A = this chain, B = another copy of it.
Amino acid sequence: MLSYALLALLSRRRLTGYELTKRFYGSVAFCWHAHQSQIYSELKRLEKRGWVSSKLETQTTRPNKKAYILTEPGRDALVAWLRTPPPEFALKDEWLLRVWTVELLKPDEARDLLNACGRFHEERLKAYRAIVGTLEREHGSLDSTPYETLVGPYLCLQQGIWHEEMYIRWCRWAARRLAARGRKRSGRRSAAAIDLHSVVRRARMNGKDV
Interface string of A115-143 (1 = CB under 8 A from B): 01100100110110111011100110000
Q: How many copies does the complex hold?
A: 2
Is the C-beta of A66 less than 8 angstroms from some C-beta in chain B? no
For the complex, would chain A's binding face be called helix, strand, loop or mixed by DSSP majority? Answer: helix
- In-complex Cβ contact of A104 among B11, B103, B197 (8 A): B11
Interface residues contributed by chain A, number (CB under 8 Å): 103
A129: chain B residues at CB < 8 Å are: 208
Is the C-beta of A46 less than 8 angstroms from some C-beta in chain B? no
Is the C-beta of A90 less than 8 angstroms from some C-beta in chain B? yes
Is the C-beta of A177 less than 8 angstroms from some C-beta in chain B? yes
Question: Beyond A8-B101, A33-B90, A155-B178: 8 further Cβ-contacts under 8 Å?
Answer: A26-B201, A31-B99, A79-B105, A82-B104, A85-B95, A86-B98, A89-B95, A149-B194
